Structure 1
Amino acid sequence: MTLIHIKNVSKSFKGIQLFENTTVQFEKGKIYGIIGHNGSGKSVLFKMICGFIRPDAGEIIINPAYRDKQSMFPKNFGIVIDRPGYISGITGFDNLKRLARIQQLISDQEIRQAMTLVGLDPETKQKVKNYSLGMKQKLALAQAIMENQDVLILDEPFNALDIDSVHSIRQLLLRFKEEGRTIILTSHNQEDINILCDHVFQIRQHAVEEVKA
């Protein structure tokens, strides 16, 4: 099943042409890796998929099962693009609880479970302002998965994580794929791409091209 269809899309950003008449499709239940040099447009591509910015031409077609008639944003997507702006003076759990109130889909226990899955202690009284970069990254990942999102859009999900945490998150993402979820991620670490991805696409010359094995 085609989940996302990027069709004849062109996009410039800050005066730089990133995409020109590019087309690519993502199917449900697979892990996709997006690679490219710094500034090639990986984050911009993700923001277009998520509805945060619009293409200059062409269209981003989201499967109807993931479209929300009340919103311009797709539903059931878990997203890590840039680091979220958390409230620094409260705990990670309290931050996620405030975010969970928006949709009112999950319980406190489900928030705790998501934090535990990514390697955070949901019971700690440590405030986010005292979190390390790795802990903040884990908090962003917990937010992306806490509502059991079916599609994960993850821009550099392993940034600032230690080796053990990288291994744990890799195993978690592979488990999610086995459950039928769809994951699109970027990473500058080729090992992440090799271990996780069913398909790899490279952004070059204003297009998104599949890298053949």
Structure 2
Amino acid sequence: MTLIDIKNVSKSFKGIQLFENATAQFEKGKTYGIIGHNGSGKSVLFKMICGFISPDAGEITINPAYRDKQSNFPQNFGIIIDRPGYIGGISGFDNLKKLADIQQLITHQEIKRAMTLVGLEPDAKRKVKNYSLGMKQKLALAQAIMENQEVLILDEPFNALDIDSVQSIRQLLFTFKKEGKTIILTSHNQEDINLLCDYVFQIRQHTLEVV
């Protein structure tokens, strides 16, 4: 089943042409890697898929089963793009609880389970402003998975993680693959791409080429 269909998409950003007639399809239950040099448009591509920005031309279609009927935003997507903003003066759990309260889909125990899965202590009182970069990355990962989202859009999910945490998050993503989740990720580490991805697209000459 085609989950995301990118058709003849063109996009310039801050005066730079990033995509021109780019086309790609993403199937349900597969893991995809997006590679390209810094500034090639990986994050912009993810923002277009998630409906945060629009293409200049062409279209990106989300399967109706994964589209919010009341808006242009996809649903059941867990997303890491750029660095999420959190309230620095409260704990990681309290930040996630505030976000979970928006849709009220999960319990406090499910939030704590997500934090534990990514290597955070859910009952710790440490304020997010005192988190290391790696801890903030884990908090972003917990947010992306805490509602058991079926599609994960992960821009540099291993950024700032130590070696042990990288191994742990890789194993977590392998588990999600076995569960049939759809994963689209970027990574500067080719090993991440080689180990995790079923298919790889490279951004080259403003298009998406299968590697």
Tell me the TM-score normalized by structure 1.
0.98
- Aligned mates of 1:97, 1:70 — CA distance in 2: 24
Aligned to 1:194: 194
- Trace 1:11-90 onto structure 2 (pairs within 5 A): 11-90=11-90
- Aligned mates of 2:70, 2:91 — CA distance in 1: 31
Aligned to 2:175: 175
| Residue 72 (structure 1) shift | 1.6
Structure 1 unaligned regions, length at least 5: none
CA offsets per residue over residues 162-213 of structure 1, 9 Å max, x none? Answer: 00000010010011011010000000000100110000110010000010xx
| Residue 95 (structure 1) shift | 0.1
SS of 1:87's partner is coil
Identity of aligned residues (%): 85
- Aligned mates of 1:30, 1:171 — CA distance in 2: 16
Aligned partner of 2:66: which letter? Y
Query: Aligned-residue CA RMSD in angstroms?
Result: 0.4
SS of 1:201's partner is strand
SS of 1:7's partner is strand
- Aligned mates of 2:71, 2:119 — CA distance in 1: 32
- Aligned mates of 1:103, 1:207 — CA distance in 2: 36
Aligned to 1:154: 154
- Aligned mates of 1:18, 1:33 — CA distance in 2: 18
| Residue 71 (structure 1) shift | 1.7
Aligned to 1:110: 110
| Residue 40 (structure 1) shift | 0.2
Say if 2:8 is the partner of 1:8: yes
Aligned partner of 1:31: which letter? T
- Aligned mates of 1:162, 1:202 — CA distance in 2: 26
| Residue 68 (structure 1) shift | 0.7
CA offsets per residue over residues 80-111 of structure 1, 9 Å max, x none? Answer: 00111100000000000000000000000000
| Residue 70 (structure 1) shift | 1.0
- Aligned mates of 1:141, 1:65 — CA distance in 2: 24
SS of 2:59's partner is strand
